[in-house]
Amino acid sequence: MHRTRPLLQALLPGVLLTGALLTGPTLALAQPLADSFFQQQGQPAIPDIEYDPGGEFNFVRVQFDTWQAGGGGGGWGYFGDGGPTWSIDFPGADMNFLRGVSRLTNIRVMRDPIVLRFDDEAIFDYPFLYMLEVGQQGGIMLSEAEIENVREYLLRGGFLLIDDFWGERQWSNFHDSFSQIFPDREIVELPHDHEIFRTYYDIDGPQMIPALSRDDSRGEQGIDAASNHAILDDDGRIMVLINWNSDMGDGWEHTYHPYYPTRYANAAYQLGINYLIYSLTH
Protein backbone atom coordinates (compact mmCIF):
# COMPACT_ATOMS: atom_id res chain seq x y z
CA MET A 1 0.00 0.00 0.00
CA HIS A 2 1.70 3.18 -1.12
CA ARG A 3 1.02 4.92 2.19
CA THR A 4 0.35 2.00 4.48
CA ARG A 5 3.40 -0.06 3.57
CA PRO A 6 5.98 2.45 4.93
CA LEU A 7 4.06 2.46 8.21
CA LEU A 8 4.22 -1.34 8.38
CA GLN A 9 7.93 -1.43 7.62
CA ALA A 10 8.65 1.21 10.24
CA LEU A 11 6.77 -0.78 12.85
CA LEU A 12 8.42 -4.15 12.42
CA PRO A 13 11.48 -3.57 14.65
CA GLY A 14 9.23 -2.70 17.59
CA VAL A 15 6.67 -5.45 17.30
CA LEU A 16 7.83 -7.64 20.15
CA LEU A 17 5.83 -7.83 23.20
CA THR A 18 5.68 -8.21 26.91
CA GLY A 19 3.42 -11.26 27.24
CA ALA A 20 1.45 -9.99 30.25
CA LEU A 21 -2.28 -10.63 30.65
CA LEU A 22 -4.89 -8.26 32.01
CA THR A 23 -5.64 -9.03 35.63
CA GLY A 24 -7.95 -6.19 36.59
CA PRO A 25 -8.77 -2.52 36.08
CA THR A 26 -5.26 -1.20 35.61
CA LEU A 27 -5.35 0.10 32.03
CA ALA A 28 -6.08 3.75 31.32
CA LEU A 29 -8.11 5.76 28.85
CA ALA A 30 -7.01 8.82 26.91
CA GLN A 31 -7.99 12.34 27.94
CA PRO A 32 -10.19 14.28 27.34
CA LEU A 33 -12.29 11.70 25.45
CA ALA A 34 -12.01 9.27 28.35
CA ASP A 35 -13.33 11.83 30.84
CA SER A 36 -16.47 12.26 28.77
CA PHE A 37 -16.91 8.51 28.37
CA PHE A 38 -16.57 7.76 32.06
CA GLN A 39 -18.86 10.63 33.01
CA GLN A 40 -21.54 9.11 30.79
CA GLN A 41 -20.98 5.75 32.48
CA GLY A 42 -21.11 7.29 35.96
CA GLN A 43 -17.55 6.12 36.68
CA PRO A 44 -14.44 8.10 37.64
CA ALA A 45 -11.80 8.50 34.97
CA ILE A 46 -8.77 6.24 35.27
CA PRO A 47 -5.34 7.94 35.35
CA ASP A 48 -3.78 8.01 31.93
CA ILE A 49 -0.59 6.32 30.78
CA GLU A 50 2.09 7.86 28.63
CA TYR A 51 1.31 8.17 24.92
CA ASP A 52 3.50 8.89 21.95
CA PRO A 53 1.86 11.49 19.66
CA GLY A 54 3.87 10.03 16.78
CA GLY A 55 2.68 6.52 17.52
CA GLU A 56 2.72 3.69 15.03
CA PHE A 57 -0.83 2.42 15.56
CA ASN A 58 -4.21 4.03 15.91
CA PHE A 59 -7.56 2.32 16.18
CA VAL A 60 -9.73 3.17 13.16
CA ARG A 61 -13.42 2.29 13.35
CA VAL A 62 -15.41 2.15 10.11
CA GLN A 63 -18.56 4.24 9.90
CA PHE A 64 -21.25 2.81 7.60
CA ASP A 65 -24.93 2.99 6.76
CA THR A 66 -27.36 0.15 7.34
CA TRP A 67 -30.74 -0.76 5.94
CA GLN A 68 -33.59 0.42 8.12
CA ALA A 69 -35.45 -2.14 10.22
CA GLY A 70 -37.68 -4.20 7.99
CA GLY A 71 -35.18 -4.25 5.14
CA GLY A 72 -36.62 -1.47 3.02
CA GLY A 73 -35.07 1.81 2.03
CA GLY A 74 -31.82 3.42 2.98
CA GLY A 75 -30.60 5.59 5.80
CA TRP A 76 -29.07 5.14 9.21
CA GLY A 77 -29.82 1.99 11.13
CA TYR A 78 -30.21 2.55 14.87
CA PHE A 79 -29.71 -0.02 17.58
CA GLY A 80 -30.98 -0.39 21.11
CA ASP A 81 -28.60 2.13 22.65
CA GLY A 82 -30.05 4.90 20.48
CA GLY A 83 -27.05 5.30 18.18
CA PRO A 84 -26.10 4.05 14.72
CA THR A 85 -25.04 0.41 14.57
CA TRP A 86 -21.43 1.21 13.63
CA SER A 87 -21.00 3.10 16.94
CA ILE A 88 -21.87 0.24 19.33
CA ASP A 89 -19.24 -0.01 22.12
CA PHE A 90 -17.73 3.34 21.01
CA PRO A 91 -15.56 4.91 22.34
CA GLY A 92 -14.85 2.63 25.30
CA ALA A 93 -13.89 -0.49 23.33
CA ASP A 94 -11.62 1.45 20.98
CA MET A 95 -9.78 3.31 23.72
CA ASN A 96 -9.39 0.28 25.93
CA PHE A 97 -7.92 -1.71 23.05
CA LEU A 98 -5.40 1.06 22.44
CA ARG A 99 -4.53 0.92 26.14
CA GLY A 100 -4.16 -2.83 25.95
CA VAL A 101 -1.86 -2.63 22.94
CA SER A 102 0.24 0.00 24.73
CA ARG A 103 0.50 -2.05 27.90
CA LEU A 104 0.91 -5.54 26.46
CA THR A 105 3.19 -4.79 23.51
CA ASN A 106 6.01 -2.47 22.48
CA ILE A 107 3.86 -0.91 19.75
CA ARG A 108 3.61 2.85 20.16
CA VAL A 109 -0.04 3.88 20.07
CA MET A 110 -1.69 7.17 19.22
CA ARG A 111 -3.80 9.01 21.75
CA ASP A 112 -7.43 8.78 20.61
CA PRO A 113 -9.24 6.43 18.21
CA ILE A 114 -10.77 7.82 15.04
CA VAL A 115 -13.75 7.04 12.79
CA LEU A 116 -13.56 6.95 8.99
CA ARG A 117 -15.75 5.79 6.12
CA PHE A 118 -14.50 3.43 3.43
CA ASP A 119 -14.53 6.20 0.83
CA ASP A 120 -12.20 8.43 2.85
CA GLU A 121 -8.69 8.55 1.39
CA ALA A 122 -7.34 8.74 4.93
CA ILE A 123 -7.86 4.98 5.35
CA PHE A 124 -4.67 4.51 3.33
CA ASP A 125 -2.73 6.00 6.24
CA TYR A 126 -3.75 3.17 8.57
CA PRO A 127 -3.03 -0.55 8.17
CA PHE A 128 -5.86 -1.79 10.43
CA LEU A 129 -9.60 -1.05 10.26
CA TYR A 130 -12.36 -2.32 12.55
CA MET A 131 -16.10 -2.63 12.01
CA LEU A 132 -18.90 -4.46 13.80
CA GLU A 133 -22.62 -5.32 13.69
CA VAL A 134 -22.51 -5.79 9.92
CA GLY A 135 -25.54 -8.10 9.87
CA GLN A 136 -28.10 -5.95 11.65
CA GLN A 137 -31.22 -4.55 9.96
CA GLY A 138 -30.66 -6.11 6.57
CA GLY A 139 -26.93 -5.46 6.31
CA ILE A 140 -24.73 -2.55 5.36
CA MET A 141 -25.12 -0.20 2.41
CA LEU A 142 -22.00 0.61 0.41
CA SER A 143 -21.67 3.23 -2.31
CA GLU A 144 -19.60 2.62 -5.43
CA ALA A 145 -16.96 4.99 -4.07
CA GLU A 146 -16.77 3.03 -0.82
CA ILE A 147 -16.53 -0.30 -2.62
CA GLU A 148 -13.78 0.85 -4.97
CA ASN A 149 -11.73 2.60 -2.28
CA VAL A 150 -11.78 -0.21 0.27
CA ARG A 151 -11.09 -2.82 -2.42
CA GLU A 152 -7.94 -0.95 -3.40
CA TYR A 153 -6.98 -0.44 0.25
CA LEU A 154 -7.21 -4.18 0.94
CA LEU A 155 -5.40 -5.24 -2.22
CA ARG A 156 -2.55 -2.84 -1.42
CA GLY A 157 -1.97 -4.45 1.96
CA GLY A 158 -4.65 -3.15 4.31
CA PHE A 159 -6.47 -5.29 6.86
CA LEU A 160 -10.10 -5.16 7.96
CA LEU A 161 -11.36 -6.85 11.14
CA ILE A 162 -15.12 -7.51 11.29
CA ASP A 163 -16.51 -8.27 14.76
CA ASP A 164 -19.71 -8.93 16.70
CA PHE A 165 -22.36 -10.38 14.45
CA TRP A 166 -24.23 -13.58 15.15
CA GLY A 167 -26.25 -16.35 13.56
CA GLU A 168 -27.21 -17.41 10.06
CA ARG A 169 -29.53 -14.49 9.33
CA GLN A 170 -26.92 -11.86 10.17
CA TRP A 171 -24.32 -13.84 8.17
CA SER A 172 -26.62 -13.80 5.16
CA ASN A 173 -27.18 -10.05 5.49
CA PHE A 174 -23.45 -9.47 5.77
CA HIS A 175 -22.58 -11.77 2.87
CA ASP A 176 -25.13 -10.27 0.50
CA SER A 177 -23.87 -6.73 1.03
CA PHE A 178 -20.15 -7.33 1.55
CA SER A 179 -19.71 -9.59 -1.47
CA GLN A 180 -19.92 -6.45 -3.61
CA ILE A 181 -16.34 -5.67 -2.65
CA PHE A 182 -14.86 -8.97 -3.87
CA PRO A 183 -17.55 -10.81 -5.84
CA ASP A 184 -14.92 -13.17 -7.30
CA ARG A 185 -13.25 -14.16 -4.00
CA GLU A 186 -14.51 -16.89 -1.71
CA ILE A 187 -14.92 -16.39 2.03
CA VAL A 188 -12.98 -19.25 3.63
CA GLU A 189 -13.09 -20.59 7.18
CA LEU A 190 -9.74 -20.45 8.97
CA PRO A 191 -8.50 -23.66 10.62
CA HIS A 192 -7.66 -23.61 14.33
CA ASP A 193 -3.96 -23.96 13.52
CA HIS A 194 -3.77 -20.94 11.18
CA GLU A 195 -0.75 -18.76 11.88
CA ILE A 196 -2.95 -15.81 12.91
CA PHE A 197 -3.63 -17.67 16.15
CA ARG A 198 0.14 -17.94 16.81
CA THR A 199 1.44 -14.48 15.90
CA TYR A 200 1.99 -13.60 19.57
CA TYR A 201 -0.35 -15.40 21.92
CA ASP A 202 -0.73 -19.14 21.35
CA ILE A 203 -4.52 -19.46 21.00
CA ASP A 204 -6.53 -22.57 20.20
CA GLY A 205 -8.45 -21.02 17.35
CA PRO A 206 -11.53 -18.78 17.54
CA GLN A 207 -13.01 -17.98 20.95
CA MET A 208 -16.61 -17.15 21.79
CA ILE A 209 -16.45 -13.88 23.72
CA PRO A 210 -19.91 -13.07 25.07
CA ALA A 211 -21.62 -9.75 25.54
CA LEU A 212 -22.18 -8.30 28.98
CA SER A 213 -24.67 -10.37 31.02
CA ARG A 214 -24.10 -13.47 28.88
CA ASP A 215 -21.65 -16.37 29.12
CA ASP A 216 -19.83 -18.60 26.65
CA SER A 217 -21.94 -21.72 27.27
CA ARG A 218 -24.09 -20.83 24.29
CA GLY A 219 -24.08 -18.20 21.61
CA GLU A 220 -26.63 -15.79 20.28
CA GLN A 221 -28.98 -16.26 17.33
CA GLY A 222 -28.85 -20.06 17.44
CA ILE A 223 -25.11 -20.65 16.84
CA ASP A 224 -23.16 -22.07 19.77
CA ALA A 225 -19.59 -21.88 18.46
CA ALA A 226 -17.37 -19.04 17.28
CA SER A 227 -15.56 -19.25 13.95
CA ASN A 228 -13.15 -17.09 11.98
CA HIS A 229 -13.49 -16.59 8.25
CA ALA A 230 -11.39 -14.62 5.81
CA ILE A 231 -11.06 -13.12 2.38
CA LEU A 232 -7.53 -13.76 1.07
CA ASP A 233 -5.40 -11.99 -1.50
CA ASP A 234 -3.63 -13.83 -4.32
CA ASP A 235 -0.72 -14.70 -2.00
CA GLY A 236 -2.93 -16.13 0.73
CA ARG A 237 -2.67 -13.09 3.02
CA ILE A 238 -5.77 -12.35 5.07
CA MET A 239 -7.26 -9.08 3.87
CA VAL A 240 -10.57 -9.34 5.74
CA LEU A 241 -10.83 -11.25 9.04
CA ILE A 242 -14.43 -12.08 10.00
CA ASN A 243 -15.00 -12.82 13.70
CA TRP A 244 -18.40 -14.56 13.65
CA ASN A 245 -20.39 -15.44 16.77
CA SER A 246 -18.04 -13.61 19.12
CA ASP A 247 -17.89 -10.08 20.53
CA MET A 248 -14.37 -8.82 21.15
CA GLY A 249 -15.70 -5.27 21.37
CA ASP A 250 -17.63 -6.08 24.53
CA GLY A 251 -14.53 -7.72 25.99
CA TRP A 252 -12.60 -4.49 25.46
CA GLU A 253 -15.40 -2.15 26.47
CA HIS A 254 -16.19 -3.95 29.73
CA THR A 255 -12.61 -4.48 30.92
CA TYR A 256 -13.44 -2.64 34.16
CA HIS A 257 -17.03 -3.74 34.61
CA PRO A 258 -17.42 -5.48 37.99
CA TYR A 259 -19.71 -8.16 36.54
CA TYR A 260 -17.79 -8.89 33.34
CA PRO A 261 -15.42 -11.86 33.84
CA THR A 262 -11.75 -11.00 33.36
CA ARG A 263 -11.20 -14.20 31.38
CA TYR A 264 -13.46 -12.91 28.62
CA ALA A 265 -11.65 -9.57 28.52
CA ASN A 266 -8.30 -11.40 28.43
CA ALA A 267 -9.46 -13.50 25.48
CA ALA A 268 -10.60 -10.37 23.64
CA TYR A 269 -7.20 -8.70 24.04
CA GLN A 270 -5.30 -11.83 23.07
CA LEU A 271 -7.28 -12.29 19.87
CA GLY A 272 -7.25 -8.59 19.01
CA ILE A 273 -3.50 -8.30 19.51
CA ASN A 274 -2.86 -11.42 17.43
CA TYR A 275 -4.98 -9.98 14.62
CA LEU A 276 -3.19 -6.64 14.90
CA ILE A 277 0.29 -8.17 14.84
CA TYR A 278 -0.69 -10.24 11.81
CA SER A 279 -1.95 -7.12 10.03
CA LEU A 280 1.29 -5.26 10.72
CA THR A 281 3.60 -8.06 9.61
CA HIS A 282 1.86 -9.51 6.53
Mean pLDDT by 10 residues, the chain (282 residues): 37 39 35 53 50 81 75 40 77 92 91 92 96 80 95 98 85 87 95 96 92 60 78 97 91 90 93 96 93
pLDDT in tens, 20-35: 343 333 233 344 555 5
Per-residue pLDDT at 30: 40
**Per-domain residue ranges for the chain?**
4-281
pTM above 0.75, yes or no: yes
Other beta carbons within 10 angstroms of residue 200's beta carbon come to 20
3-class SS shares of the chain: helix, strand, coil, % to 5: 35, 15, 50
Element (H, E) at 164: strand 159-165
List CB contacts of 128: < 8 A, sequence separation 6 or more.
57, 59, 60, 158, 159, 161, 276, 279, 280
Alpha carbon dihedral 271, 101, 81, 31, in 10-degree steps, equals 180
CA-to-CA distance for 132 and 160, rounded, in angstroms? 11
Q: What is the CATH number of domain 4-281?
A: 3.40.50.12140
Per-residue pLDDT at 50: 59
Judge contact between 164 and 132, C-beta under 8 A: yes
pLDDT in tens, 158-208: 999 999 887 788 888 888 888 899 999 999 999 999 999 999 999 999 998
Per-residue pLDDT at 9: 33
CA-to-CA distance for 218 and 154, rounded, in angstroms? 33
Per-residue pLDDT at 282: 92
CA-nearest of 128, 47, 132 to 88 is: 132
